[in-house]
Chains A and B, each alone.
Chain A
Amino acid sequence: MIGLNHFLILAGALFCIGMFGALSKRNAIAILMGIELMLNSVNINLVAFSRFVTPKVLTGQIFAIFVIVVAAAEVAVGLALIFAIYRNRVSVNVEDFDWLKW
């Protein structure tokens, strides 16, 4: 039987993969992709809990919709930022953006 644990482990795996991508890639857009994967894993968690804990009220699904909304807004603004930096520095390699260095 596919129980709650399966979905949770799947979400956890997706989260860790997303985290790995976000913290170890050089391209700024690749980091955004990792963040999207993490958000998706959160959504899987929410929906799974909604299905197994409160099937009637569907709270988790509504929450997941809002997460998708926020993710969309965040991608928009994030890419705008990347454009702005790219225009000035002609690079999207995050290792070059270390002006807060000592």
Chain B
Amino acid sequence: MDLVNYAMNHVWLIPLFPLVSFALIAFVFFKMPKVSATISISAILLSFATALLVGYGVIQHGGFVEDPLQYTIKWFQVGSLKMELGVRLDGMTAMMLFVVTLVASMVNIYSLGYMHGDRSFSRFFAFLSLFAMSMLGLVIAPNLLQMYVFWELVGLCSYLLIGFWYHRYSAREAAKKAFITTRTGDFGLLLGILAIQVHFGTLDFAQLSHVININNAPAYLFGILLVLFLGPIGKSGQFPLHVWLPDAMEGPTPVSALIHAATMVVAGVYLTGRMLFAFQAVPSAMLMVAIVGGFTALFAATIAITQVEMKKILAYSTVSQLGYMMLALGAGSLSSSMFHLMTHAFFKALMFLGAGSVLHAMHDEANIWKYGGLRKKMPITAYTFLVGCLAIAGIFPFAGFFSKDQIIEAVYKMSSMDGGTGAFAGIYTILFWVAVITAGLTAFYMFRMFFICFTGEEKPENHPHESPKTMTFPLLLLAVLSLVGGLVGFPGLKEGVAFGSFVRLGEFEMVHANAFLITLTTVVALAGIGLAMAIYWKKAISHEAIAEKFKPIYNVLYHKYYIDEIYLWLINNVLDGLGKVLYWFDIHVIDGIIDGIAAIARFLGGSMRKAETGKLQNYGLVMFLAVVVIAIILYLAGDNTSSTAAAFLLGGGK
């Protein structure tokens, strides 16, 4: 018990261990790769153990939902502006700590095998530790400022890790693209934070939740939230700032698993979840979140059905699932969104690590059409991957089934089908069907990938082999979690046991099984799997024929709706054009003013120098002329009877 209490009061130790690890690796043990790896793995396992203790303590306290445990130190104070650093501990925090440390530990262990022999081995582990520290610091943040600081730090780590193999041009470009795109979103986030500080005087989550509620939401709150939401759009890869996520696959696969599947990209969802009380105060803001999420989910799913690289398919799948999480938040359900976040972390990390295993075996050949029948030589990878696919497709009793169902149920409740009478019920109905269709598409493209890679005939030029134990152990652990991780959200669980009692906004709602929805989603998922089976396993329908028949649609989807090309066109023409206009303005107008002033000086000088004739007689004449003129003026200016001043000028007089 004492250990648990100690852990709960010292939650800041959890990010501290990876920070110390980073410092040690970067400054002391850089030349010793094995020592670096050991330090990094030990640090993250220590954090994981502490997170488990903290989680246990939080469950004991009923989730800290109503009164979170919060302790801070004062960072700086300027007038009435007070900035604090510290910890906010509630159910959501504990869940995130558990997930982040778990996946980070798995990735650290996996990297031992995957990055073996890489010449920048130590640097990799240093960056992994730095990232772990940043993400954990973000998760425990009690106010928007600390969250923003660590938000930027995770962005930095993402840049460093995507461009890890910096000698590759595509990796460098992808790193820049990631950083710049998220930076664009972060600008909006910063504006939102500043606006909140100015209008509400505080950035602390607890204080803000007291100040902002649905009864006294000011009119400008929608604007603030709109701008603030740009940050999550960028960081969590929502449309239109999703373009960096697929390119981020240039980084090593453990990085993709850790950052771009399970942890960093969910930072946007996490922030929106933390601020959900503010979004709930403005129903139109909630609708905006839901629309962005729902659209992104469908959008990414349609792209994913045509992609030919394993990691790209998984990346678009991540974007799609993040859309689901946003949709859940937009429908007002924090529990289902966070639940899906947790289960998604498990099965998506699992599948990414599985993809890494395949890439390792196929010597970095990425095109899935070059694979085939891999399950014979790589059984562990294949069957854990199957677990992941079943989980994401939402098949009972795997984890994804429960979480996805809860999201669809949340949207269903807001729609007009369930008798919802909110202002936007009709739109929520549309979003509901969008979610259902996307579920089918998800099952389809996931199993398409599975069947192409792991079933069918082996190609003779491949020599696959199963991966070492350091890589298969995390796969197995995550597969187990993908199987049983959803059971905490089983319908009918009571308060104190169900996931929804520890992570919620508002009153605890017990999960009820809705027969209509369960059947609908299962049917749709099975239809997706069946179609994939028909085309890619049994080869009953030729995929090339379908691609030919729907060629224009296929091209648009394959080229990702040409979004990258559109952005490039915008940047080259609109942005550069604006730059050229401003450049012209700078050169001609502003410099023109300066040059004009100089030209005036030159002109004045040029004309006034003509007074210097060099002839003494001219100077003398001017002098005497001046004397006469001044004398007259002085005489006229004074009173007429006395001419004293003028007389003095000429000399003499009374």
Least distance between A6 CB and chain B CB atoms (Å): 16
A22 within 8 A of B: yes
Q: Which residues of B contact A99 (CB under 8 A)?
A: 614
Least distance between A23 CB and chain B CB atoms (Å): 5
Q: Which residues of A contact B609 (CB under 8 A)?
A: 102
Q: Which residues of B contact A19 (CB under 8 A)?
A: 624
Q: What number of B residues sit within 8 Å (CB to CB) of A?
A: 12
Q: Which residues of B contact A100 (CB under 8 A)?
A: 612, 614
Cβ B614 vs Cβ A98 within 8 A: yes
**What mask results when residues 617 to 639 of chain B are scored 1 for a CB within 8 Å of chain A, else 0?**
10011001000000000000000
Alpha-carbon distance between A22 and B618 when the two chains are bound, in angstroms: 11
A83 within 8 A of B: no
Q: Tally of A-B residue pairs with Cβ under 8 A?
A: 31
A101-B617 CB under 8 A given contacts A19-B624, A23-B624:
no
Q: Which of B612, B616, B621, B624 contacts A102 (CB under 8 A)?
A: B612
Least distance between B256 CB and chain A CB atoms (Å): 76
Q: Which among B610, B612, B614 has the greatest number of chain A C-beta atoms within 10 A?
A: B614
Cβ B617 vs Cβ A98 within 8 A: no
**What mask results when residues 9 to 27 of chain A are scored 1 for a CB within 8 Å of chain B, else 0?**
0000000000100111000
Alpha-carbon distance between A99 and B617 when the two chains are bound, in angstroms: 14
A101-B614 CB under 8 A given contacts A19-B624, A23-B621, A23-B624:
yes
Alpha-carbon distance between A49 and B652 when the two chains are bound, in angstroms: 10
Q: Which residues of B contact A97 (CB under 8 A)?
A: 614-616
Alpha-carbon distance between A24 and B610 when the two chains are bound, in angstroms: 20
A94 within 8 A of B: yes
**What mask results when residues 593 to 615 of chain B are scored 1 for a CB within 8 Å of chain A, else 0?**
00000000000000001101111
Least distance between B210 CB and chain A CB atoms (Å): 79
Task: For B651, give the chain A residue with the smallest CB separation.
Answer: A45
Alpha-carbon distance between A102 and B609 when the two chains are bound, in angstroms: 6
Q: Which of A24, A31, A101 contacts B612 (CB under 8 A)?
A: A101
Alpha-carbon distance between A24 and B616 when the two chains are bound, in angstroms: 11
Tell me the residues in window 215-267 of chain B with beta carbons closer than 8 Å to chain A beta carbons.
none
Least distance between B19 CB and chain A CB atoms (Å): 73
Q: Which residues of A contact B615 (CB under 8 A)?
A: 94-95, 97-98, 101
The A interface, classified by DSSP as helix, strand, loop or mixed, is: helix
Least distance between A99 CB and chain B CB atoms (Å): 6
A94-B616 CB under 8 A given contacts A19-B624, A23-B621:
yes
Alpha-carbon distance between A99 and B624 when the two chains are bound, in angstroms: 23
Cβ A24 vs Cβ B614 within 8 A: no
Alpha-carbon distance between A95 and B614 when the two chains are bound, in angstroms: 9
Q: Which of B613, B620, B621, B624 contacts A98 (CB under 8 A)?
A: B613
Q: Which of B612, B613, B614, B620 contacts A22 (CB under 8 A)?
A: B620
Alpha-carbon distance between A99 and B613 when the two chains are bound, in angstroms: 9
Q: Which residues of A contact B621 (CB under 8 A)?
A: 23
Q: Which among A31, A49, A98 has the greatest number of chain B C-beta atoms within 10 A?
A: A98
Q: Which residues of A contact B617 (CB under 8 A)?
A: 22-24, 31, 94
Task: For B650, give the chain A residue with the smallest CB separation.
Answer: A12
Alpha-carbon distance between A94 and B615 when the two chains are bound, in angstroms: 7
Q: Which residues of B contact A24 (CB under 8 A)?
A: 617
Cβ B620 vs Cβ A23 within 8 A: yes
Alpha-carbon distance between A102 and B613 when the two chains are bound, in angstroms: 7
Alpha-carbon distance between A59 and B312 when the two chains are bound, in angstroms: 115
Least distance between B497 CB and chain A CB atoms (Å): 100
Task: For B618, give the chain A residue with the smallest CB separation.
Answer: A23
Alpha-carbon distance between A94 and B210 when the two chains are bound, in angstroms: 95
Least distance between B625 CB and chain A CB atoms (Å): 10
Task: For A99, give the chain B residue with the smallest CB separation.
Answer: B614
Least distance between A67 CB and chain B CB atoms (Å): 14
Q: Which of B613, B620, B624, B652 contacts A101 (CB under 8 A)?
A: B613
Q: Which residues of B contact A49 (CB under 8 A)?
A: 652
Q: Which residues of A contact B652 (CB under 8 A)?
A: 49
Alpha-carbon distance between A23 and B614 when the two chains are bound, in angstroms: 14
Alpha-carbon distance between A94 and B616 when the two chains are bound, in angstroms: 8
Task: For A12, give the chain B residue with the smallest CB separation.
Answer: B650
Q: Which residues of A contact B614 (CB under 8 A)?
A: 97-102
Cβ B620 vs Cβ A102 within 8 A: no
Q: Which residues of A contact B612 (CB under 8 A)?
A: 100-102
Least distance between A14 CB and chain B CB atoms (Å): 15
Task: For A98, give the chain B residue with the smallest CB separation.
Answer: B614
Alpha-carbon distance between A3 and B114 when the two chains are bound, in angstroms: 125
Alpha-carbon distance between A97 and B614 when the two chains are bound, in angstroms: 8
Task: For A8, give the chain B residue with the smallest CB separation.
Answer: B652
Alpha-carbon distance between A4 and B476 when the two chains are bound, in angstroms: 131
Alpha-carbon distance between A98 and B609 when the two chains are bound, in angstroms: 14
**What mask results when residues 84 to 102 of chain A are scored 1 for a CB within 8 Å of chain B, else 0?**
0000000000110111111
Alpha-carbon distance between A19 and B614 when the two chains are bound, in angstroms: 19
Alpha-carbon distance between A102 and B606 when the two chains are bound, in angstroms: 10
Alpha-carbon distance between A94 and B652 when the two chains are bound, in angstroms: 33
Least distance between B232 CB and chain A CB atoms (Å): 71
Alpha-carbon distance between A3 and B53 when the two chains are bound, in angstroms: 125
Task: For B612, give the chain A residue with the smallest CB separation.
Answer: A102
Task: For B611, give the chain A residue with the smallest CB separation.
Answer: A102
Task: For A26, give the chain B residue with the smallest CB separation.
Answer: B617
Alpha-carbon distance between A65 and B620 when the two chains are bound, in angstroms: 27
Alpha-carbon distance between A97 and B616 when the two chains are bound, in angstroms: 9
Q: Which residues of A contact B620 (CB under 8 A)?
A: 22-23
Chain B interface (Cβ < 8 Å from any Cβ of A): 609-610, 612-617, 620-621, 624, 652
What would be 22 A-B contacts, judged by CB atoms less than 8 Å apart?
Answer: A19-B624, A22-B617, A22-B620, A23-B617, A23-B620, A24-B617, A49-B652, A94-B615, A94-B616, A97-B615, A97-B616, A98-B613, A98-B614, A98-B615, A100-B614, A101-B612, A101-B614, A101-B615, A102-B609, A102-B610, A102-B612, A102-B614
- Known contacts A23-B624, A99-B614, A102-B614; 9 further A-B pairs (Cβ under 8 A): A19-B624, A22-B620, A94-B616, A95-B615, A97-B614, A97-B615, A100-B612, A100-B614, A101-B613
7 cross-chain pairs, A with B, having the tightest CB-CB distances, nearest first: A101-B614, A98-B614, A100-B614, A102-B609, A102-B612, A23-B621, A23-B617
Chain A interface (Cβ < 8 Å from any Cβ of B): 19, 22-24, 31, 49, 94-95, 97-102
